[in-house]
Structure 1
Amino acid sequence: MTIQLPLSQTNSEIVYPDSDGQPMADNTIQFRWITVIHYNLAWLFANNAEVFVAGDLLWYPVENNRKLRQAPDVMVVFGVPKGDRGSYQQWKENNIAPQVVFEILSPGNTPKEMERKLLFYDRYEVEEYYLYDPQKNSLTGWFRSELFLERIDEINGFVSPRLGIRFELTAETLMLYRPDEQPFTDYIEVQQQLEVAENRAIIAEEQLQQERQEKEIAQERAKRLEQLLREAGIDPESNG
């Protein structure tokens, strides 16, 4: 008699969670910096279909290991298409690791945690890593040499090789500049700029419309005057 054993469960699909249960930010300052960097980089590469920019997205570098993961505050990946993802599973993305990552420090981040993140980014071949502490207005950067991430000695004025953006530390805050030297702006500032531009466009259109109307009125008056002169037996085109 042959007994059929149940099929093995070892080949069941591994689930890679889309959330680690942690909040995106611990405070409004950290959240604002995350969104400013994310949206400005998204705008910067909006016309490049092969640059993916994400914020607070879980990155799994190794297949079949769902515990090995990290969620950079902002990450940029060159060579993969834009699009929505629940998580960044590297083996599904031509095994391309994020080349640039940003972390915004909050009071809840411990030195051990940040050391683990640095080791993770170093091990899984991040090319550029930037860590900003808005409370202390302190910026630290690392750039990959041939084998590992090395700390950037002079970060003030440094230009990211991958992004082309420039970092400037003032006495009060960090300033980021696009390759065209335009500063990064937050959503409210962009919205205000759009509203100002829209209002200017409306005013310009109203002025143009008024000029058109005044021109039409002047033309109508000229035609009426010409008609009255002709009715009076005067040729308006005569020089006499």
Structure 2
Amino acid sequence: MSTPVTRSPRPEIVYPDSDGEPMADNNLQYEWIVTITGNLEILFRDDPNVFVVGNMLWYPIEGDNKTRIAPDTMVAFGRPKGYRGSYMQWIEDGIAPQVVFEILSPGNSGPEMTRKREAYERFGVEEYYVYDPDEDILTGWIRRGDRLVAIPDMESWVSPRLEIRFDTTTRPMTIYRPDGKRFLTMSELAVRADEAVEERDAAVRQRDEAMEERDAALRERDLLLAKLRQLGIEP
């Protein structure tokens, strides 16, 4: 009599949230990653179906935890905001991030960046931008069919998806929002926020002072009316 073979269940595939690599190799690269990611988050803050994130692992293939990419910044239209440990494309209705940014550091090699571009081309990215802050060089690719094709001239290029404009005539490069305002660094945004708070507080103080002056004037009027009545004069 044969003994039935018991098959062990397949182990659950784990998709790690981290690849163990640092977000940036130096503070210049870090500042650009944070600036682009942060300003895009601000730009799309009122749209619940645009997901913007920096330095998150993207798994494009279900069941394959080896094929993964960690763009410095990626934008996924049609996906809700909210916490994710990683971007698993099959859970995201099969939607690949449409726009991806990479900020170069001296440690990035040519073959590495070629592999990334080929992966972005394969998995459906529509716009791909690479910025070298040390050399102040911006390179871009846009999807044409099943290929990512190099954008021949990035000067004043406007992203079809993001509607932001890249001004490569300045040093360093300047990025402008659709309303014409430039992208600000996190430090600049913090200063603007502090200034806004100070302006609000000043407006509150002015309002309070005006109310105090009005109340004082009313009290003075009431005292004057009371004195007139004491003198038998009906105002």
TM-score for both structures, normalised by structure 2: 0.94
Between the aligned partners of 1:87 and 1:218, the Cα distance in structure 2 is 63
Offset from partner CA, 1:126-159 (integer Å, 9 cap, x none): 1000000000111001111123111111211111
SS at match of 2:210: helix
Q: Which residue of 1 aligns with 2:233?
A: 234
SS at match of 1:92: coil
TM superposition shift of 1:6 = 3.0
TM superposition shift of 1:8 = 4.0
Q: Which residue of 1 aligns with 2:197?
A: 198
Structure 2 residue runs of 5 or longer lacking an equivalent are none
Q: Which residue of 2 aligns with 1:2?
A: 2
TM superposition shift of 1:187 = 2.1
Aligned-residue CA RMSD in angstroms? Answer: 1.5
Q: Which residue of 1 aligns with 2:77?
A: 78
Higher mean displacement: 136-145 or 48-57 = 48-57
TM-score for both structures, normalised by structure 1: 0.92
Counterparts of residues 140-219 of structure 1 (less than 5 Å): 140-219=139-218
What amino acid maps onto 2:35 in structure 1? V
Structure 1 residue runs of 5 or longer lacking an equivalent are none
Would you say how many aligned residue pairs link Structure 1 and Structure 2?
A: 235
Between the aligned partners of 1:89 and 1:209, the Cα distance in structure 2 is 53
Between the aligned partners of 1:25 and 1:97, the Cα distance in structure 2 is 23
Higher mean displacement: 126-135 or 184-193 = 184-193
SS at match of 1:91: coil
What amino acid maps onto 1:3 in structure 2? T
Between the aligned partners of 2:53 and 2:68, the Cα distance in structure 1 is 15
What amino acid maps onto 1:49 in structure 2? P
Q: Which residue of 2 aligns with 1:43?
A: 42
Q: Of the two, which has the highest radius of gyration?
A: 1
Offset from partner CA, 1:164-204 (integer Å, 9 cap, x none): 11111244211111111111112222221111111111112
